[in-house]
Amino acid sequence: MPLKTALSLKAFVPVLLCFSLLAATGHAQTTPARLTPGDTVRQFYRLLREKKYVDAFRLHVCAPAVEKLTPEESAEFEEEFARIAGGIPEKIDIGGESIIGNDATVFVKIPVGKSAEGVVQTISVPVNLILSDEKWIIGDRDTQSLAQFHKSKFFALSQSGVFSVMIDNEEKAGKAVNVLIEIEQFFARNHRGQYGTLQELVADKANTRSDLGQMLEQLEDGAYFGYRIEIELTENRKGFVIHATPQQHNIDGRYSYFADLDGAKYRNYGGVKLEKTTPGIKPLLETPSTTTTTVRTKSNLP
């Protein structure tokens, strides 16, 4: 759920990937055996330093976006790639790696300055990788999904701030779903145990807490920050289901949300409504965009 994606290519690159996500571009050299996660990171940085951006991106989740770039589009990002490559240290020290199933983390030692005695000081930065098509690539699955969906438009959308807005929408929709559970329970206490439709909740907003009433005012037509929110009641009105789905999948939001008295759940489900039995849904303990990464945060490259 994620990188904020903001005004330039570097804005969609996570701090966690440090040099990686930002600089990527891709064509790859065929290797007889699968690279380890650590070797993948080393090769990725080396290719960037050598300005072999297309080769480097083959080792990154954004490969689908780069493969579809026209020569004109590639030239547009060439200067930014070159600037980033210039900030990569000549030597990349790997402090270790961890592999859990199809996910891996490589710990890269990054120089951050010198002490008063002139000793180089470093920090350990985790670089996340996933196993995809039997090889390790840098990044996360959410960003890979966006790159596969938008292809050559991915970088332009990132620069224009579309993904930043998308993630904000997801956070707002996730919070709204949880708040609506609370509002439904408040409504039922005042209506003989019966829950209300979205329209009834909105009409009753004066009888709720002021902060909840303010949110309900924005939900009057069911549209809420790029999402469509609906409430379905059981026949006896003793139960309810809340749906929140993005109006444009991978533009307004990635995640669909489902909630009932047992709580809220979410999943990236192609913009389709979730049901209680939808496979792979996860509890909405926190908004998913706070746990995803790549299109959200800003690189700390010089």
- pLDDT of 288: 64
* Confidence at residue 294, expressed as pLDDT on a 0 to 100 scale: 45
Q: What is the pTM of this model?
A: 0.77
Residue 68 lies in a domain: yes
Q: Look at residue 1 and tell me if it is in a domain.
A: no
Q: What are the strands of the beta sheet with 255-260, ordered from one edge?
A: 223-224, 227-233, 240-246, 255-260, 263-268, 282-283
Look-up: residue for tokens 């009105």? 237
Based on the domain organization, do 78 and 179 belong to the same domain? no
Helix-strand-coil split of the chain, %, nearest 5: 40, 25, 40
Question: Smallest Cα–Cα separation from 40: which of 53, 25, 27, 58?
Answer: 58
- Sign of the dihedral through C-alpha 196, 202, 205, 207: negative
What is the domain range of residue 211?
164-290
- Give the containing element (helix H, strand E) for 63: helix 63-67
**Quick one: how far is CA 131 from the chain centroid?**
18
Asked if residues 283 and 271 have their Cβ atoms less than 8 Å apart, the reply is no
Tell which of 135, 160, 185 closes a domain.
160
Q: Over the chain (302 residues), what is each successive 10-residue block's mean pLDDT?
A: 35 34 38 84 92 90 89 81 76 92 95 85 94 96 94 91 97 96 95 96 92 90 97 97 98 97 96 96 75 38 24
Q: The domain spanning residue 117 has which CATH number? A: 3.10.450.50
Q: Give the per-residue pLDDT at 287.
A: 55
